[in-house]
């Protein structure tokens, strides 16, 4: 690992000089062309000083950056194996869970089919008994029963629960969203069916258009404006 992270920077002279700039800025009163010019000179001095400070710290910061990058690279190399192993285990556990889900659905489907078949057999038996009966209104009851839909009894499918006794490990669902039709979402927002914060204005792209056209291109819902600023070059 790079030992440049221990590079020391001499700062006493910079700190002393920095304090003097603040005193000058507070005492400056811009009330005339001459004092305005003094302010401009003061700005150039500050920009030049800022540049000097950054240059003084650059070697130390570059060394720290290099050391941090090397540290992260070593960490990433070490974590490759456990990360891959974790993915393999997670995949196998999720596959097992999916198989259990499908097995449960198949059992439920079979139980539902059996329940319907049992209900139909029960009704057919009752129909046969009514048709063979000489009891009063037996025929009418048979006709009514024949028109009734087949209603199976409640389905009870019991499956062995998946073992979940490992501390710190539990399966959960993570819901996510992705936009498949941006125009449809925009229309829904325009119609008041979705809140406006579901999408965000791209101020970077909008800003490019505004700067390039200097506000001449009108964008609905966007106010283009210019802020006064003072550009300063270092000496």
**Per residue in 13-47, pLDDT tens?**
888 888 888 888 999 999 999 999 999 999 999 99
Say what the pLDDT of residue 2 is.
Answer: 43
Say what the pLDDT of residue 4 is.
Answer: 43
> Does position 3 have pLDDT exceeding 50, yes or no?
no
**Which pTM value belongs to this model?**
0.51
CB contact set of 14 (below 8 Å; sequence gap of 6+): 52, 53, 56
Say what the pLDDT of residue 22 is.
Answer: 86
Q: How far is CA 83 from CA 76, 100, 219, in A?
A: 10, 26, 47
| pLDDT, averaged across the chain | 85
**Per residue in 163-221, pLDDT tens?**
555 677 777 778 889 999 999 999 999 999 999 999 989 999 999 999 999 989 999 99
Backbone phi, psi, residue 174, to 5°? -115, 105
């Amino acid at each position: 690992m790079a030992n440049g992270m221990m590079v020391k920077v001499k700062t006493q002279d910079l700190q002393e000089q920095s304090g003097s700039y603040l005193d000058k800025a507070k005492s400056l009163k811009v009330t005339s062309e001459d004092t305005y010019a003094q302010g401009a000179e003061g700005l150039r001095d500050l920009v030049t000083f800022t540049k000097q400070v950054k240059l003084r710290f650059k070697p130390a910061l570059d060394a720290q950056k290099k050391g941090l990058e090397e540290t992260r690279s070593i960490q990433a190399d070490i974590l490759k194996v456990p990360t891959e192993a974790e993915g393999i285990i997670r995949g196998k556990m999720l596959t097992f869970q999916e198989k259990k889900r499908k097995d449960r659905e198949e059992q439920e489907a079979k139980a539902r089919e059996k329940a319907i078949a049992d209900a139909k057999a029960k009704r057919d038996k009752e129909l046969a008994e009514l048709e063979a009966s000489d009891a009063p209104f037996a025929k009418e009851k048979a006709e009514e029963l024949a028109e009734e839909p087949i209603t199976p009894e409640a389905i009870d499918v019991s499956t062995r629960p998946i073992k979940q006794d490992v501390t710190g490990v539990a399966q959960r669902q993570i819901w996510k969203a992705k936009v498949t039709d941006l125009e449809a979402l925009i229309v829904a927002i325009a119609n008041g069916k979705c809140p406006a914060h579901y999408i965000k204005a791209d101020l970077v792209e909008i800003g490019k258009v505004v700067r390039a056209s200097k506000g001449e291109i009108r964008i609905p819902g966007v106010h283009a404006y210019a802020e006064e600023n003072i550009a300063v070059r270092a000496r």
